[in-house]
């Protein structure tokens, strides 16, 4: 393909223009920082027109100082003198109109120093150019830093990820562990409040949100005004904005490739994953030592809040287990599976998974402590089943890691596991088991599980069948309350029929068994069947008696 002469000349002009626009000196960023300081002093912290006079006088000097090739002409002297006159006006007797006039002169002075002719057709693109040229100039600063070999080696994407990804994961899991232990949370809140109070001593030095936004706006405008781009260059750089880094990174990549021939097959997040696993193993190990040292002894102080520590704490630890599966799924997919160093990550992942199983034991231990304290409830059953579902997820993820399978393989099998747990939840007679557990403990003299007797949310016939032993309970209030509740239930069964439809379609096996048992013991319930007021009083006394143990 033949390139026409005028196309070659056009590309040469484009390259020369782009090269010139990419060049800047140390004066440019210095002028930007100085502008931020002067604007912060005269506008954010300013209280009158004397400060604005200083701003109008100094900003033209910063534009003259910051551009690569300042315009030394009569126009520069003219507009500089006009800015000085406006400053004198603001000092003498300032007003808003004079300040707006000063801003207009600053705009024209900046355009003049940027090499823009003072015509409306040229000034309009220059004004809009500010917002587009600023990110390109920031990119030039970044490239300049990358060309400095020492800085470029420090601020590579790989090294940044290797530091901040582990820190982020430590922050997330550490926060969850803190919330899982209310006593530890209270101690950390004390230290945090002390730290905030200490920071408050330096509040005058901490910028406010509005102040930082003002800084950003000044930086944005100054960058675009000091080194604007022509439209042709903007179009080119818009296409190149997400391109690879410049020669500094290319040189670095070529040198690393020479030292490691298989570099192109390695994921750049390897060290981020490696450091994350090491950090999480240490965090989990330290926390598990704290967890089991505290909860296995069961030596809790007086006034210990079992509900927050055991129930809510178990929920937070289960969240940590679920988050672990997400982290593992994120790591072991895509390019990581092709990395020759994956065996090291697998070994570290297995150690971390083993610690997750110990964390799961900690969850079950907390739930067992809570159940052993005051009985079993439907919510605690759901907690056990939910934790079991998460543990199954960890097992599935472990198999995925060992077999180098993908997320589709994992989701297919884990979905069936979750569906199986849901099936068990609806099929297994948990209400009957819950009632049997609590009734058995009450019959042995352990009164605390009484708070879960005859709950309103259970399947009544199933629950009442398991609660029949309460008719012979040694605790008089519980025994009489149970008889009143059974009498109430028996009366509702007797009056609950209907003449409409086929009666056999309403058959319930558990209700038939319960009805037969209640009819055989009707004499024990007769007093409450005949006297509704007596029945309601017995039920009220029962509720007051059992609710004392909440």
The answer to which of 50-59, 224-233, 350-359, 511-520 has the lowest mean pLDDT is: 224-233
Nearby residues of 250 by Cβ (< 8 Å), 6 or more positions away: 244
150 pLDDT more than 60: no
- Inter-residue contact 126 to 116 (CB < 8 Å): yes
Contact 256, 263 (CB under 8 A): yes
Contact by Cβ (8 Å): 47, 238: no
Q: Of 13-22, 188-197, 450-459, where does mean pLDDT reach its minimum?
A: 13-22
Q: Which range, 56-60, 127-131, 415-419, is most confident?
A: 56-60
At 324, the pLDDT band (50, 70, 90 cuts) reads very high
Tell me: pLDDT of 353 over 90: yes
Reply yes or no on whether the pLDDT at 359 is more than 50.
yes
What DSSP designation does 94 have? -
> Would you say the pTM of this structure is higher than 0.85?
no
Q: What pLDDT is recorded for position 254? A: 37
Residue with tokens 């000091």: 226
Question: How much is the pLDDT for 14?
Answer: 45
Instruction: Give the angle subtended at the CA of 183 by the CAs of 178 and 185, to the nearest 5°.
Output: 35
Give dist(CA 179, CA 194) in Å, integer: 19
Among 239, 73, 272, residue whose Cα is nearest residue 169: 272
String of DSSP letters for 295-321: HTT--PPTT--HIIIIIIHHHHHHHHH
How many Å apart are CA 301 and CA 173, to the nearest integer?
27
* Average confidence (pLDDT) over 364-377: 85
Answer yes or no: is pLDDT of 237 > 50: no
CB atoms within 10 A of CB 479: 17
Mean pLDDT value of segment 111-121:
80
Residue 172 has pLDDT above 90, yes or no: yes
Query: What are the structure tokens assigned to 92, written together?
Result: 């003498």
Residue 233's pLDDT is what? 47
The pLDDT of residue 253 is 39
What pLDDT score was predicted for residue 497? 56
Are 230 and 131 within 8 A, CB to CB? no
């Amino acid at each position: 393909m033949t390139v026409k002469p005028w196309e070659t000349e056009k590309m040469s002009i484009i390259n020369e223009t782009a090269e010139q626009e990419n060049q800047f000196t140390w004066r440019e960023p210095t002028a930007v920082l100085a502008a931020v300081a002067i604007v912060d002093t005269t506008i954010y912290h300013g209280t009158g027109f004397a400060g604005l006079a200083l701003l109008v006088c100094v900003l033209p000097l910063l534009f003259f100082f910051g551009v690569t090739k300042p315009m030394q002409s009569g126009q520069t002297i003219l507009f500089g003198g006009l800015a000085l006159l406006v400053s004198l006006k603001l000092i003498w007797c300032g007003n808003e109109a004079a300040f707006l006039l000063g801003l207009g002169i600053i705009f024209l002075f900046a355009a003049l120093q940027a090499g823009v002719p003072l015509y409306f057709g040229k000034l309009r693109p220059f004004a809009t150019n500010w917002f587009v040229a600023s990110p390109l100039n920031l990119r030039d600063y970044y490239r300049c830093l990358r060309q400095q070999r020492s800085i470029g080696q420090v601020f590579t994407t790989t090294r940044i990820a290797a530091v901040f990804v582990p820190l982020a994961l430590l922050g997330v899991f550490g926060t969850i562990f803190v919330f899982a232990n209310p006593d530890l949370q209270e101690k950390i809140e004390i230290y945090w409040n002390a730290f905030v109070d200490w920071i408050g001593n330096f509040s005058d030095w901490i910028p406010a949100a509005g102040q930082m936004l003002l800084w950003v706006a000044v930086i944005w405008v100054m960058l675009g005004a000091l080194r604007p781009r022509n439209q042709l260059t903007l179009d080119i750089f818009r296409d190149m904005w997400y391109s690879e880094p410049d020669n500094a990174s290319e040189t670095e990549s070529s040198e690393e490739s020479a030292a490691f021939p298989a570099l192109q097959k390695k994921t750049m997040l390897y060290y981020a994953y490696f450091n994350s696993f090491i950090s999480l193993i240490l965090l989990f190990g330290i926390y598990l030592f704290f967890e089991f040292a505290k909860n296995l002894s069961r030596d809790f102080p007086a006034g210990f809040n079992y509900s927050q520590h055991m129930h809510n704490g178990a929920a937070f630890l289960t969240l940590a287990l679920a988050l672990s599966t997400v982290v593992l799924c994120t790591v072991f997919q895509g390019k990581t599976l092709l990395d020759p160093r994956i065996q090291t990550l697998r070994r570290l992942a297995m150690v971390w998974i083993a610690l997750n199983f110990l964390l799961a034991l900690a969850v079950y231990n907390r739930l067992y402590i809570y159940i052993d304290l005051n009985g079993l409830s439907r919510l605690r059953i759901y907690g056990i089943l939910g934790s079991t579902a998460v543990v199954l997820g960890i097992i599935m993820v472990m198999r995925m890691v060992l077999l180098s399978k993908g997320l589709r393989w994992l989701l297919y099998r884990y979905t069936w596991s979750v569906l199986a747990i849901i099936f068990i939840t609806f099929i297994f007679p948990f209400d009957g088991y819950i009632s049997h557990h609590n009734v058995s403990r009450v019959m042995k003299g352990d009164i605390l599980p009484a708070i879960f007797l005859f709950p309103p949310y259970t399947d009544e016939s199933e629950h009442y069948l398991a609660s029949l032993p309460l008719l012979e309970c040694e605790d008089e209030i519980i025994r009489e309350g149970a008889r009143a509740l059974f009498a109430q239930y028996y009366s509702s069964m007797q009056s609950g029929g209907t003449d409409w439809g086929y009666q056999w379609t309403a058959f319930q096996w558990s209700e038939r068994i319960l009805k037969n048992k209640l009819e055989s013991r009707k004499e024990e319930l007769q007093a409450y069947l005949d006297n509704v007021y007596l029945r309601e009083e017995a039920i009220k006394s029962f509720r007051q008696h059992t609710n004392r143990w909440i």
